[in-house]
Structure 1
Amino acid sequence: MRDSALAQNDCQRQMIALLGRLAPNEGYNLTALDGVRLLRSNRALTRTPVLYDPGIVIVCQGRKRGYWGDQMYLYDAQHYLAVAVPVPFTMETDASAEEPLLALYFHLDFNLAAELLLQLEERDHSEPAEPKGLYASPMDPALSQSVLRLLEALEAPLDAHILGPALVREIYFRILTGAQGGSLRAALNARGQFGRISKALRRIHSRLGERLDVEHLASEANMSVPSFHSHFKAVTQTSPMQYLKSTRLHQARLLMVRNGYSVAVAASQVGYESGSQFSREFKRLFGRTPSDEVARMKAAFALPPPVAGAVFVASH
């Protein structure tokens, strides 16, 4: 037991050293692999509203806490975070210049996940688990070793290009077969009521500039309005209209920060007809006016370019 703990601590030290070299810049650092980014934060972050795109966050140094509904999700050197559907929640981090937060972010590759799911279904006949849109789960030694090997490969361009994809696949396998992998597999299979809500979420993200109402979304999901409300809140911890509003405001913030859109243009792009209503609801969510929040984001974060096919890239 003691030898196992020593080996895990040594693995973590190696991951921190590698990440420190691979992610020298604060904010996101791109890698040779699409969908894999390295994050460095030299400062603590107080509670901030974020919208997480489906993906996996593995923290090697520092600590993050996410608040979703009445639950707190801790992800640190001992826990990773898996997100199956886009979810809005509040996040805070522990970090400093002396001990920066160092993490890996994997934008969820649905094609790779689907391929692994098919293979696992052929060989794993365990009872289906309850699908979860988001969960924090313990890092185990096998997953830590897989992450270490990926970081080692990322240091060498040739290794990254040739070995990297197989190592990412190995990490997906470790997570899909880990302690809560069954819940992620059930969520990604998108069956039953969870699957219907997942499809509704994709429709919302792909049609933010259009008029959307609960009746129409419920009808598309082939559900009654009360049933849609109930299942939607079970998956997202919020109501359909609150989710739509939050998603629109997060996307508008990203358009202003990344694309330099004006407040009026960003508001129009995400479906707001009233600029004053947009500014009022924006300040209610983020605690600042749009211009003040954009200035803060540009000073505090280095946003990566968008990932092809992503509905939203969160500011982790």
Structure 2
Amino acid sequence: MQGKDDINSRLASMVASLTAQEGFTASALDYVHFMRSDHAYRRTPVMYEPCICIIVQGRKQAYLGDATYTYDARQYLVVSAPMPFEADTEATAEQPMLGIHLGIQHALAAELALAVQEAQADAALALTPTGKPAGTPANTPTFMYATQVDDTLAEAVLRLLQALASPLEAKILAPAIVREIYFRILMGEQGAAMRAALSQGSHFQKISRALRKIHEGYSDKLDVDSLARESGMSLPAFHLHFKQVTSTTPIQYIKAMRLHKARLLMIRSGMNAYTASNTVGYESSSQFSREFKRLFGRSPLEEVRQMRSVLRMHEGVGLSSLS
């Protein structure tokens, strides 16, 4: 078995060779991207879709409410629901931040979480008359956490990059390795918290459905009362559990989602601020501009000029020449 430092060195070398330019680089799997940043960024507002973020060089810190999460070569970040927060990036041109962004396929993650819980329940029944092993800690659901990268996970990520080198292996083997990576994370140090969050019937699962509805219908007229009813909660309970999950209110979350979506539309699609604001559901372009500047600290035009190169998506160059 390779040492962790050796595996990380190989991962960093492979990702560095993939990402000649700052920004995101696509892979053969549409939900796997590679990241590179040549500059440090402080407390930048970001919106992560459900993902596993593995940093192989440099460091990032996420700020959600009063919590801070550090993810680097020793710790990875898991975000299992669309989440707006702020992030620092530690990087230089000589030592760029390099990472792998693995999108979470919700149906697959939930299927694996259920299978793991059922297997563990069967094992627990065999251990004690009560069906619960003595000393088993309570599982506190969470949609965002950072935890240690262990050897088995690092090796699986390395095998994923190697599989992506070949079109045939990318099609046949890479999805199976992604499934293994999900399993390793669900069985990891904080995997119980993610499994609890994915459990059907929990209030976290109900909030997760509301977040996905907002994520998919951000341009619609979203009504918090309707979201609460569709989640099977009273309005006060919905507000309480929503804030527990996201550290913000439903209205603020919807606003942040729309502003982040508009930002990406302007950066990646070349829309002007007026068109982008209408596309994401704003009726007033002046209100959009005020709220955009309040969140990002710059006008829409200034923000697009600053971030276009950082959030640019490049075509994958392949890994066939990498070891």
- TM norm structure 1: 0.89
- Partner-residue secondary structure (3-state), 2:54: strand
Work out whether 1:280 is the aligned partner of 2:290.
yes
Matches within 5 A, 1:188-267: 188-267=198-277
| Contact kept in structure 1, 2:23 and 2:309, CA below 8 Å | no
Query: What whole-Å deviation, never above 9, does each CA across 1:35-85 have from its counterpart, x for those lacking one?
Result: 111111111122210111001000011000000000110000000000111
What secondary structure does 1:124 align onto?
helix
Matched, 1:47 2:43: yes
- Structure 1, residues 210-235: CA drift from partner, whole Å, max 9, x if none? 22232232222232222211111001
Number of equivalenced pairs: 301
1:226-268 Cα distance to aligned partner (Å, 9 max, x none):
2211111001000111111111111111111122222112111
- Alignment of 1:171 with 2:167, yes or no, is no
**2:269 partner letter:** N
Q: From the superposition, tell whether residues 299 and 165 of structure 1 become closer, same or farther in structure 2 (CA, over 3 Å).
A: closer
Q: In the alignment, does 2:95 pair up with 1:96?
A: no
C-alpha contact (below 8 Å) 1:56/1:105 kept by paired residues: yes
Given that 2:36 and 2:99 are in contact with CA atoms closer than 8 Å, whether structure 1 keeps it comes out as yes
Amino acid paired to 1:141:
D
Deviations 1:70-106 (A, max 9, x none): 0110000000000111111001111111111111111
With 174-183 and 17-26 compared, the bigger mean Cα shift is at: 17-26
Note the C-alpha offset of 1:303.
3.4
The aligned residue for residue 309 of structure 1 is none
In the TM superposition, residue 186 of structure 1 has moved relative to its aligned partner by 1.7
Q: Name the CA distance, whole Å, in 1 between partners of 2:207 and 2:115.
A: 25
Gap change, CA 1:190 and 1:23, over 3 Å in 2? farther
CA contact (8 A) 2:24 2:312 kept: yes
Distance 1:15 1:158, change over 3 A: same
Correspondence for 1:123 among 81, 98, 119 = 119
Aligned equivalents of 2:302 and 2:15: distance in 1?
Answer: 32
Confirm or deny: 8 A CA contact 1:83 1:133 kept in the other structure. Answer: yes
- The residue type equivalent to 1:80 in the other structure is Y
Q: Is the deviation greater in 208-217 or in 224-233?
A: 208-217
2:131 aligned residue: none
CA contact (8 A) 2:267 2:311 kept: no
What residue in structure 1 maps to residue 78 of structure 2?
82
- The 5 A counterparts of 1:118-157 are 118-125=114-121, 129-157=139-167
SS of equivalent to 2:159: helix
Q: CA shift at 1:304, angstroms?
A: 6.3
Please give the alpha-carbon distance, in whole angstroms, between the structure 1 residues aligned to 2:204 and 2:179.
Answer: 25
Which amino acid is 1:280 matched to? R
2:103 matched to which residue of 1?
A: 107
Q: Does 1:61 align with 2:71?
A: no
CA distance in 2, matches of 1:7, 1:220: 49
Q: Which runs of 4+ in 1 moved over 4 A?
A: none
Per-residue CA deviations over 1:84-130 (Å, capped at 9, x if unaligned) read: 11111001111111111111111111232233234323312266722
In structure 1, runs of 5+ residues without a counterpart are 306-316
CA distance in 2, matches of 1:35, 1:145: 19
CA distance in 1, matches of 2:200, 2:40: 36
- Which TM-score applies when normalising by structure 2? 0.87
Q: Which runs of 5+ in 2 are unaligned?
A: 125-135, 316-323
Counterpart-to-counterpart distance in 2, 1:213 and 1:111: 26
| C-alpha contact (below 8 Å) 1:252/1:267 kept by paired residues | yes
1:14-25 equivalences under 5 Å are 14-25=10-21
C-alpha change, 1:115 and 1:228, in structure 2 (3 Å) is closer
Q: How far apart, in 2, do the equivalents of 1:177 and 1:215 lie?
A: 37
1:8-47 per-position Cα deviation (integer Å, ceiling 9, x unaligned): 1111112112222233332111111221111111111222
Q: CA deviation at 1:197?
A: 1.2
Separation in 1, partners of 2:173, 2:225: 48
Quick check: 1:297 aligned with 2:307?
A: yes
Q: 2:152 matched to 1:180?
A: no
